[in-house]
Amino acid sequence: MLTMQFLVTGILTGGIYALVAVSIVLIYKATRIFNFAVGEMLALGGYFCYSFVVWGGLPLWISLPGALVMAVIVGALVERLVLRPLLSQPLLTIIMATLALSVLLKGIMLMVWTGYDVGFPKNLLPGKTVLVGMIAMSHELLWAFGITLVAFAGLAYFFMKTRTGLKMRGVSEDHELSMACGVNIVTIFAVTWMLAAVMGTLAGFLMGYRLALAPSYTPLLALKAFPAVIFGGLESIPGALIGGLLIGVIEGLVGGLIDPNLGEVSAYILLLLVLIFKPEGLFGLKRIERV
Amino acid sequence: MTAEDQTKLKVEDLNLSFGSVQALMDVSFEVNGDEILALIGPNGAGKTSLLNCVSGFYHAQRGRVSFEGHDISRFSPSKRAKLGISRTFQNIELYTGLTALDNLMAARHVYIKYGPVAGSFFFGKARREEVENRKVVEEIIDLLEMEEVRYRVVESLPYGLRKRVDMGRALALHPKLLLLDEPMAGMNVEEKEDMARFILDIHELWKIPIIIVEHDMGVVMDICHRVVVLDFGLKLAEGTPAEIKQNEKVIQAYLGKE
């Protein structure tokens, strides 16, 4: 019974990891850049939402969309000010720039929101813990999971039915070809960063609501998403969902049944194993160049 | 001025360098009416660089590129594609996981106007547009004799056919100027003859100017109306195939002495 409890909690927590993972995957797919500032971007999103709720005293149905709008602006600014000047520079330079961005954002958060923990009021989202048999599911985790599913369904619709989504898929396949077909890839890059910032903000809000927000440890949540991303395959959006859930489950089971400390590192042990035996991940693409 | 001798593309004093390597030096040429122009030259002469400057993949440091009388020097590749400058790639660029047909349809996307809502239900407008574009694509498939491979995934196609799909993709944009980067590289004689025939067919049917970068002198001399010769980033000569064959400088630099 306890196993089931840990399993369910793990799946529900995994939804948040999946959101972070998809934020990384979106950017990697379209631009081949691994965004190391993802943790800071999601924390920033969480803080925006916090500010609207606590400082502004606004209800959640205004605050969360407000935070998402802010995320879109941040995503656009990051792309315009950090990434676009570096277009066609070596990839390593750009990845280092995302590291610099993470330091910068952390500094900004320390200045604005200080280094202390802040939390959302606990009754922000309605509902209370649900009991199914002996298994307890806390309402914030259920909300988190629901929001994750809606976000992924939205992404799926976006990528299959909208022209921008289709263009993004084309661009992630081949930059030069897409340009030759008349796709403005710089615009697509900007949209990608906005979308990634939105996904990150959702995760930041959910994480902040579940625990608390702090510039020091909220960004570390992204570290949890790295194994999820590698496990699912760097280029696969369904992979990000499944990878995220799986990391949640492993962490829940190992942490609950064996040792909480081991639970923290279990995801990384899995990451090492995946890298040794299936480096392209479960759903990633094995790139074979024909010579 | 009749349509035949109207200047479609005008390249003036193009200078392009990568660090200390001067890829193009004061290169100028024109494409008039609906002629087939060949760009030839030894390896590293700057042929592909020049093509990239025309299609916008490179931006020259100095010089101008004008298309149908408008200066397009600063336009992005996507904007030039929308204007009607379409190109193929030396190393074939296709969405390898899609079928030949889908690759051509993807290239038609600039002509598709319907939104996500219409696309979700696929009635009326969306369906009509899709059918219209499919008709255009089918014409191209017909023209390039690709009926057999329509539903084959590009990755599984042999090299010669992929080259053909690449050309179909460039045509699907309904270009006003077609740029072909070594359309016959790595092909056998039969495939080359097919390709030459397709190029002539396109020219005949669509009446568009075509710029070809090609190494096979036999083909160039046969199907092209005019030839521009490049060597180390400099324009060595320009003229009809017959003139080029007689040109002393070209013979020395490129064609070799008998």
- d(Cα B56, Cα B129) in Å, to the nearest integer? 29
Alpha-helix runs per DSSP H in A124-283: 139-161, 163-173, 175-180, 185-210, 221-232, 237-253, 260-277
| Closest C-alpha among B38, B85, B20 to residue B217 | B38
Look at residue B45 in the predicted model and tell me its pLDDT: 86
Contacts of A190 in chain B (CB under 8 A): none
Q: What is the gyration radius of the CA atoms in chain B, in angstroms?
A: 19
A33 contacts: CB under 8 Å, gap ≥ 6 = A27, A83, A91, A94, A95, A98
Query: Of all residues in chain A, what percent carry a pLDDT higher than 70?
Result: 97
CB contact under 8 A, A163 and B116: yes
Cα B156 to Cα A171, A203, B161, distances in angstroms: 21, 41, 10
- d(Cα A39, Cα A105) in Å, to the nearest integer? 10
CB contact under 8 A, A180 and B77: yes
Q: Is A33 a domain residue?
A: yes
Q: Running DSSP on this structure, what letter comes out for residue A99?
A: H
Look at residue B255 in the predicted model and tell me its pLDDT: 61
> Could you write out the DSSP letters of every residue in A40-83?
HHHHHHHHHHHIIIIIS---HHHHHHHHHHHHHHHHHHHIIIII
CB contact under 8 A, B120 and A161: yes
Chain B residues with a Cβ under 8 Å from any Cβ in chain A = 55-57, 76-79, 81-82, 86-87, 89, 93-97, 106-107, 109-110, 112, 115-116, 119-120, 169-170, 173
CB contact under 8 A, B109 and A181: yes
pLDDT digits (tens, 9 = 90+) for B162-185: 999 999 999 999 899 999 999 988
Look at residue A115 in the predicted model and tell me its pLDDT: 86
Q: Running DSSP on this structure, what letter comes out for residue A286?
A: P
- Tell me which residue in B93, B115, B173 faces A176 most closely, judged by beta carbons: B93
- d(Cα A153, Cα A163) in Å, to the nearest integer? 17
Query: Looking at residue A43, which CATH number applies to its domain?
Result: 1.10.3470
Q: Span B26-49, mean pLDDT?
A: 90
* Residue A267 pLDDT level (bands cut at 50, 70, 90): confident
A209 contacts: CB under 8 Å, gap ≥ 6 = A120, A124, A125, A140, A143, A144
Contacts of B78 in chain A (CB under 8 A): 178-179, 181-185
- Domains held by chain A: number: 1
pLDDT digits (tens, 9 = 90+) for B16-34: 998 888 899 999 999 988 8
pLDDT digits (tens, 9 = 90+) for B135-144: 999 999 999 9
Burial label for A112, CB within 10 Å (0-12, 13-18, 19+), is exposed
- d(Cα A30, Cα A20) in Å, to the nearest integer? 16
- Tell me which residue in B77, B97, B115 faces A179 most closely, judged by beta carbons: B77
CB contact under 8 A, B89 and A180: yes
Q: Span B147-166, mean pLDDT?
A: 91
* Residue B232 pLDDT level (bands cut at 50, 70, 90): confident
For residue A153, give how far its alpha carbon lies from the nearest alpha carbon of chain B (Å). 14
- d(Cα A42, Cα B63) in Å, to the nearest integer? 46
CB contact under 8 A, A163 and B79: no
- Tell me which residue in A161, A162, A177 faces B95 most closely, judged by beta carbons: A177
- Tell me which residue in B57, B106, B115 faces A181 most closely, judged by beta carbons: B106
Look at residue A195 in the predicted model and tell me its pLDDT: 95
Kindly report which listed range (A68-72, A273-277, B37-41) carries the lowest average pLDDT score.
Answer: A273-277
For residue A223, give how far its alpha carbon lies from the nearest alpha carbon of chain B (Å). 32
* Residue B113 pLDDT level (bands cut at 50, 70, 90): confident
Q: Running DSSP on this structure, what letter comes out for residue A255?
A: I
CB contact under 8 A, A180 and B81: yes
- Pick the residue from chain B with its C-alpha nearest to A178: B78
Q: Is A284 a domain residue?
A: no
* Residue B5 pLDDT level (bands cut at 50, 70, 90): low
Contacts of B137 in chain A (CB under 8 A): none
Question: Per the structure block, which two tokens stand in for B25?
Answer: 């030096």
CB contact under 8 A, B89 and A179: no
Look at residue B1 in the predicted model and tell me its pLDDT: 42
Q: How many residues does chain B have?
A: 258
Average pLDDT, rounded, for chain A: 90
The architecture of the domain spanning B1-84+175-258 is 3-Layer(aba) Sandwich (3.40)
Q: Running DSSP on this structure, what letter comes out for residue B64?
A: E
CB contact under 8 A, B81 and A182: yes
Q: Is A238 a domain residue?
A: yes
pLDDT digits (tens, 9 = 90+) for A189-228: 999 999 999 999 999 999 999 889 999 888 988 888 888 9
Question: Per the structure block, which two tokens stand in for A220?
Answer: 């570390």
Q: Is A286 a domain residue?
A: no
pLDDT digits (tens, 9 = 90+) for A125-156: 888 888 888 888 888 899 999 999 999 999 99
- d(Cα A101, Cα A82) in Å, to the nearest integer? 8
Domain of A159? 2-277
Q: Is A211 a domain residue?
A: yes
CB-hemisphere CA count at 13 Å for B170? 29
CB contact under 8 A, A163 and B97: no
- For tokens 């604005």, the residue is A112
Q: Span A234-255, mean pLDDT?
A: 91
* Residue B210 pLDDT level (bands cut at 50, 70, 90): very high
- Tell me which residue in B77, B93, B116 faces A162 most closely, judged by beta carbons: B116
CB contact under 8 A, B81 and A181: yes
- For tokens 């934020």, the residue is A23
Look at residue A286 in the predicted model and tell me its pLDDT: 66
| Closest C-alpha among A237, A135, A255 to residue A196 | A237
- Higher pLDDT: B113 or B59? It is B59
Q: Is A27 a domain residue?
A: yes
Q: Span B104-132, mean pLDDT?
A: 81
ipTM: 0.79
Q: Residue ranges per domain, chain B?
A: 1-84+175-258, 93-174
